Amino acid sequence: MAVEFSEKADAEFKELVSRYPNTLAAMLPVLHLAQREFGWISVEVMDYVAERLEVHPTKVLNAATFYTMYNKTPVGKCHVQVCTTLSCAIRGGYELIEHLEEKLGVKLGETREDGAYTLSEAECLASCGTAPMFQVSYSDGEIEYFENLDDQARVNQVIEQLNARLASLPDPRKMH
């Protein structure tokens, strides 16, 4: 199946491009849009973005591989990224990972077999005052921060909230 923006995404694409003096500058926001639309940034998606921006495909490859927010392989419906950089390391980020591994049934750096969760470690997410914390990137493109997670009961509540949301989220592995 060839990738192609929906009508709504196409309108957003045109609006994004209009903000800049050239199409290349729209690269980052357009790759975010493409990831929302197609689940992850495959070579096919990169080629499509290059065609739409009228730039050489290597320019898209260059950007897509430089930035960590673009997934070059499919991740789970909920990509749980735990910050462990400085304040989070000091305030229990690693203990949080151990707890999540047990509760989510997935090891750090892996995606659960049913495609529900990916668990990974993230560099500083600018929530040092509310450490420890994790960010969840949902497969519908939303990002949510969960902060002050030094209490396991609160973490369990958050997991219940994520579990409840799973049914409404698309599976990135099947989005294109």
Applying CB under 8 A, which residues contact other proteins? Answer: 19, 21-22, 24-29, 31-32, 40, 55, 59, 62-63, 66-75, 79, 84-87, 89-91, 94, 97, 108-111, 118-131, 135, 142-145
Question: For other proteins, which is the closer residue by CB, 72 or 103?
Answer: 72
User: Please, which residue, 28 or 166, has the CB nearer to other proteins?
Assistant: 28
Q: How far is the CB of 153 from other proteins (least distance, A)?
A: 19
Q: How far is the CB of 87 from other proteins (least distance, A)?
A: 4
Spatial distance between the Cα atoms of 154 and 158, rounded to a whole number of angstroms: 6
Which residues does 109 contact at the CB level (< 8 Å), separation at least 6? 119, 120, 121
Reading the block at residue 27, the tokens are: 């690269």
DSSP E strands: which ranges in 131-171?
Answer: 134-138, 143-146
Contact predicate 159/21, CB 8 Å: no
User: Least distance from C-beta 152 to other proteins, angstroms?
Assistant: 17
With CA atoms as reference, report the closest residue to 136 among 84, 81, 73: 81
Q: How far is the CB of 118 from other proteins (least distance, A)?
A: 5
